[in-house]
Amino acid sequence: MEIYQLKVFLEVARHLSFTEAADTLNLTQPAVSAKIKSLEESLGVELFHRLGRKIKLTRVGDYLFNSGPELIALESRLVKEVNEIKEGKHSRLTIGCTASVSDDWIPNVLFQSRQKYPKVELSCLSFASVKSLHQSIMDGEVDIGISETSLHEFDEIESQPIDRFHYCLMVATDHRLANCQWLSLKDLTSEVWAFPPTGTPERLVLESRLSELGMKLSDFTHHEIVQTQSLMCAFLRQGHYLGFTSSFQFQSERQAKALVSIPLQEFSLESRLFLLISKKISRVMDENHQKRSSKYGATEPLQQFIHLLKQYSQQKLKIHVPSSRDKVSARSPSIVSEKAVPETVIAKATSSTKESRGVYFRSPTLSTRKSNSTDSEILTIKIGIQNKTIQTVTAGLIIEKLNLLEHFLPRNGQYRNTKYRIKWIDFTSGAPIVKGLQSQQLDIGILGDYPLLLSGTSHSDASSPVANTRLVSFVASNPDGSGNTIIVPSHSKLSSLDDLRNRIIAVPFASAAHGMMMRTLAKENLLQEVTLASIDKLNIHQLTPRNNQADGYAYFAPLHEIASSHGQFRRLIDDQDVTMLPTFHGIVVEATLADNHPNIVVAYLKALIAAQHWYITTPNALSLVSNWTRLDPEIIAKTLEYSNLDTTGLFFPETTIRSDWITEHIHQLKTIPGNQKLGEINTTSWIQSEFLETALSSI
């Protein structure tokens, strides 16, 4: 059916005469008859009863006569608006958003838009659920949507991040928990809660996260489901309930100090707010923009509004994440003059500081997927970590405490019915981790440079020289080599490396400090003059001088810092590692895990990236790590660079694998007795940086 056919029909129906309709339309009667016949054929029904020279509307004709004017009016309005859009004149824009966005986020943006584009008639529709918002976008009831939940699972919808926020705990300021700086959902299951209703972004993300942690809403024994934000506020203020909300919500109440938000351990990362738009509309906008932008600029209301949002988001979403590579020249200029080490080894990367897009929690799907319990596979992941080795906490302790690995583990495809059991095993040094990896008792290990290399050699009982591990990422690096050192009792007369002749130095064997000690003694021609004794167990809190056992100790950070802070020990030398080699820690995975479950390896690296981002950007990260490790915050900051303090740490969070550093470590160690097997490491096959590249590109 054509609009012009409808116009002809309405004239004939109005006059009940083909002749009079022809005169009104300035057409011939045969032309009018032809249009009506064509319309009847397209509809497959007669519109008029023909009674001789008279005509009468049929039942369908009567319906079309009553409803047709609406289509004509709509056509007229559409034509008018198209012309207005073309000319940049007055038009309208309808925005759909979730309830929390419409209450607390969108009003400010709408005000800015109206101030900048006063001729555009803006309207905003609030939706109780993300599902209804999605349907409204697809039906064309709204031009764009704004939601805390992405619609990434729907191919026809484009989701663009435009802001960031946190999910948090909200309580009244006179609640007994109001002064807490950090809380965990796992510790609050017996509290009285007010939870958001089904289908809201807050409810979706809560149920999704609980599912990852093996929890469910019913674990909270006392809770109410509240349907509106105003009702939630009443429960919080009058009933002293705990509320699960986003940081967008209750802004005025928080400013008035009636409510206060508290960070939740399970929601340590930020989430994103999304602009939702039909891909069809997006393509049309792109085509129109390319045709018109050079002459007119963005004149269409939708394009104007999106442009305003993008300007806003560019300011909000930029996060500067410092890299260890930004500071090498300032930290250790003496490295550059060292002749024995190739420039590729001692030079930090040439890339400049980058603007990071940040690391965020994934947006949940509209429905939480449930596995078939009868077919569930339990997959155990055993991870060897070193919690007291502070430079590695982003790869172990922080991931464990924030439950980040649970969030990034794959849940679809072959893992749809998989239940994960994660075992974090804490060690005091790297040697048992190497043993666990080579005997397949561990799946993932966090290691310092020397034990990391040892893990890359073949097992002593293996017939093949091929290692059964893969190096997939760095964790932290120290470019000047000062991460390990030698300490002696404060009253000791030893003052130089040469004084160590005929002395005993205790070291944790197969540790990074052991590797440093061997390289240092070899360079100074002292390898045969100094006895290295083993320290089987380290108690960093009760370290005391033992003159009868050893003349000094070789330690890796932060053990020497702790010992020195007690006043009973001092460093033998204040300079960096005399071999001028950077020190580093990395992640090694067992080959079977890498080959059979690459998605799990990628998930672990995503968790590492998220943990490093959290440590760098979270104001109270240092105090939390201090509580978790029971170490002084100052020692932690001196060991692992903390961006919120002016102090410079020995190590920087780092993921990029430096194969040149590894090659030079091997070069210096393989000639030392007992380390010949290091020369057999095939770094090309052992180092597999593609896991890290995948994680970085998909997080």
Rounded Cα gap, residues 533 and 513, in angstroms:
12
Q: Among the listed ranges 27-31, 73-77, 180-184, 667-671, which one has the minimum average pLDDT value?
A: 73-77
The whole-number average pLDDT for the span 42-69 is 88
Q: What long-range pairs does 675-684 form, CB within 8 A, spacing at least 24?
A: 675/518, 677/457, 677/458, 678/453, 678/454, 678/456, 678/457, 680/457, 680/458, 680/465, 681/453, 681/456, 681/457, 681/467, 682/466, 682/467, 683/456, 683/659
- For the record, the structure tokens of 344 come out as 């590729």
Q: What percent of the chain has pLDDT over 70?
A: 84
Whether 374 shows a pLDDT value over 70: the answer reads no
| Contact in structure between 400 and 384 (CB atoms under 8 Å) | no
What is the reported pLDDT for 139? 85
Whether 352 shows a pLDDT value over 70: the answer reads no
Closest CA to 475 of 659, 662, 653: 653
Give residue 344's pLDDT band: very low, low, confident or very high (50, 70, 90).
very low
Of the segments 17-21, 140-144, 587-591, which one has the largest average pLDDT value? 587-591
Give residue 536's pLDDT band: very low, low, confident or very high (50, 70, 90).
low
Residues 6+ away with beta carbon under 8 Å from 434:
445, 447, 451, 454, 455, 510
What is the reported pLDDT for 345? 31
What is the reported pLDDT for 392? 96
Q: What percent of the chain has pLDDT over 90?
A: 55
- For the record, the structure tokens of 227 come out as 């349907």
Give residue 607's pLDDT band: very low, low, confident or very high (50, 70, 90).
very high
What is the reported pLDDT for 312? 72
Residue spans of alpha helices (H) in 488-620: 512-523, 559-565, 591-596, 598-617
Residue type, 683: T
| Contact in structure between 479 and 331 (CB atoms under 8 Å) | yes
The whole-number average pLDDT for the span 608-631 is 94
Of the segments 68-82, 486-500, 666-680, which one has the largest average pLDDT value? 666-680
What is the reported pLDDT for 351? 31
> How far is residue 53 CA from its own chain's centroid?
77
- For the record, the structure tokens of 540 come out as 């960093």
Encode pLDDT of 576-587 as tens digits: 455 578 999 999
CA-based end-to-end distance of the chain: 50
Encode pLDDT of 300-340 as tens digits: 788 888 888 887 777 665 544 444 344 433 333 333 223 33
pTM of the model: 0.80
Query: What b/e string do you get for 597-628 counting C-beta neighbours within 10 Å, with b at 16 or more?
Result: bbbbbbbbbbbbbbbbbbbbbbeebbebbbee
Give residue 597's pLDDT band: very low, low, confident or very high (50, 70, 90).
very high
- Rg over alpha carbons for the chain, rounded to the nearest Å, is 34
Which DSSP helix (H) or strand (E) runs through 675?
Answer: none
Give residue 460's pLDDT band: very low, low, confident or very high (50, 70, 90).
low
What is the reported pLDDT for 609? 97
Encode pLDDT of 52-61 as tens digits: 778 899 999 9
What is the reported pLDDT for 572? 85
> Crossing angle for the helix pair 3-15 and 18-25, nearest 10 degrees?
130
Q: Among the listed ranges 22-31, 353-362, 647-656, which one has the minimum average pLDDT value?
A: 353-362
Whether 660 shows a pLDDT value over 60: the answer reads yes
Looking at the DSSP bridge assignments, the partners of residue 533 are 506
Query: What mean pLDDT, rounded, does the chain reach?
Result: 84
What is the reported pLDDT for 292? 54
